[in-house]
Amino acid sequence: MENMADENPEVDDEVIVELLLKEITELVIDQGLLSGKALKEDRVTNFVHPEKLKKLVDLSLGDSPLSHGEIFELCKRAVEYSVRTNHPKFLNQLYHGADPVGLAGAWLSEALNTNLYTYEVAPFFMMVEHEVLAHLRSFIGWEDGDGIFTPGGSLANMYGMVLARFNKFPEVKTKGMGNIGELVAFTSQEGHYSILKAAHWIGLGTDNLVMVASDSSGRMIPAELENKIVKALEQKKVPYFVNATAGTTVFGAFDPLEPLAFICKKYDLWLHVDAAWGGGALVSQKHRSLMQGIEMVDSVAWNLHKMLGAPLQCSAFLTKHTNVFHRCNSASATYLFQTDKYYDMRYDTGDKSIQCGRKVDAFKLWLMWKARGNRGLEKMVLHTSALPPARISTSHCGT
């Protein structure tokens, strides 16, 4: 079966491609790559050094096409030299093997190969994204609001910083930052490094990201935040944004959101929560108290590919504000976002994204949520939290 196309050159290309897709599916199943199917006696990875890997597998690209058998052999080598993230001993990252139903959703959306910017090119998926975002906001406690799926939690955090700036100084969209003063943002010393990168990318400057002390458990100290805000004001700077973390990378700490929210309200600062890892606690009645006060914040970043096991990548940015997102990011490109369309244009969400091309990330989550329901996902979170400390990863992982 594997060499049928090679032995018979008259086999149609479409048949060859269909054969390859079937073989890849069988490979995934036979190699135990689905979540929960890895064997403890298997190795997590067949590690080889980079230079050796280049010798073991021909990675070069050239003029001549490979045969069907050669292509499939490369796919097997990809499995051989990849990390088995579904292995029970894969512990050093904050994600794990993909949910099989979510994987099926990812395969289907990839096959349909559309772009999530207008309803007319992605009608079903656009409605799915709206529904999923509304469902996620309901766990935060927001009846209204807005949101979008992003390529990773780092970009979701950046959305928070940009929306916060626009919300306080809408003129920055057209006039720039020259006349609004020296903006200052705050994050804990245990916060994710993406906030530091965002400070650079949005023109804030890394010196204007103030690190706030954490307690021995890794939680931001509210009194220290207020001290830093007061000091910035005394220096004639303009505090505008606070990043709290729900589930820090190293300690797994949850910052105290309620007192932080009161401080932000007192000084008119936008409070964003990086819940890339810890957001899963929201679906658990037992653990959602870790995020007490979450409904008081302005925005949340949540990686559903972490604790809930959706296939990478699956990250959402959520905000309780309904009138900021589109005004902040829209460019009104007329070749995509015409004003005289024949349907409700509120579902053309592409203009509020900083991307033009955007993958369908919501569908795989929607499908696995349909298959498992709130209770099934809550059970997953409870199982994760019940693991002994040695089984729970606390090492560094990017958002």
Q: Lowest mean pLDDT: which of 4-8, 129-133, 219-223, 276-280?
A: 4-8
* Rounded mean pLDDT, 135-148: 96
Residue 384 vs residue 377, higher pLDDT:
377
Q: State how far the Cα of 329 lies from the Cα of 267, in Å rounded to an integer.
A: 25
Q: State how far the Cα of 206 lies from the Cα of 113, in Å rounded to an integer.
A: 38
DSSP 247: S
* Rounded mean pLDDT, 274-298: 94
Give residue-wise pLDDT tens across range 41-80: 788 889 999 999 999 999 999 999 898 899 999 999 999 9
- Average pLDDT of the residues of the chain: 89
Residue 261 vs residue 14, higher pLDDT:
261
Sign of the dihedral defined by the CA atoms of residues 268, 355, 358, 76, in that order = negative
3-class DSSP state for residue 165? helix
Q: Are strands 270-274 and 299-303 parallel, antiparallel or unpaired?
A: parallel
pLDDT of residue 392: 42
User: Is the pLDDT score of 4 beyond 50?
Assistant: no
Other C-beta atoms lying within 10 Å of the C-beta of residue 342: 7
pLDDT of residue 12: 66
pLDDT confidence of 89, banded at 50, 70, 90?
A: confident
pLDDT of residue 36: 73
pTM of the model: 0.90
Give residue-wise pLDDT tens across range 23-36: 999 999 988 888 77
Q: In what helix (H) or strand (E) does residue 371 lie, and over which residues does it extend?
A: helix 362-386
* Rounded mean pLDDT, 143-168: 96
